[in-house]
Amino acid sequence: MKQERILLFTLACVQFSHIVDFMIMMPLVDILMADLSINPKQFSFLVASYTLSAGVATLVAALYLDKLNRKTVVFVSFIGFVVGTLACGLANSYPFFLAARMFTGAFGGIVGSIIYAIVGDVIPLERRGKAMGAIMAAFSIAAVVGVPLGYTIAYKFNWHIPFIMIAGFGVVIIGLIYKFVPSLSGHINKNDTSRKIEVMTNVIKNPNQLRALLFMFLMIMGHFTIIPFITKYFINNVGLKEHHITLVYMIGGGLTIVTAPIVGRLADRFGRALVFSICAGLAIIPIFFITNMGMVPAYVALTFTGMFFVFVSGRMVPAQTMLTAAAKTQNRGSFMSIVTAVREFASSLASVISGIIVIEMADGRLVHYEKVGYLAAFCSVLAIIIAWKVRPVDDD
What are the residue ranges spanned by the domains of the chain?
2-181+200-395
> In this predicted structure, what is the pLDDT of residue 28?
84
Q: Are 234 and 308 in contact (CB under 8 A)?
A: no
Q: Are 100 and 88 in contact (CB under 8 A)?
A: yes
Q: Which CATH class is domain 2-181+200-395?
A: mainly alpha
> In this predicted structure, what is the pLDDT of residue 396?
41
> In this predicted structure, what is the pLDDT of residue 37?
87
Residue spans of the chain under pLDDT 50: 395-396
- Write phi, then psi, for 263 (nearest 5 degrees): -60, -40
> In this predicted structure, what is the pLDDT of residue 161?
93
> In this predicted structure, what is the pLDDT of residue 333?
67
> In this predicted structure, what is the pLDDT of residue 40?
77
> In this predicted structure, what is the pLDDT of residue 186?
59
Q: Are 148 and 261 in contact (CB under 8 A)?
A: no
Per DSSP, helices labelled H in the chain are: 2-23, 29-35, 40-61, 70-90, 94-122, 125-141, 147-156, 160-180, 197-204, 207-224, 230-233, 242-270, 272-291, 298-324, 329-357, 369-387
pTM > 0.75 = no
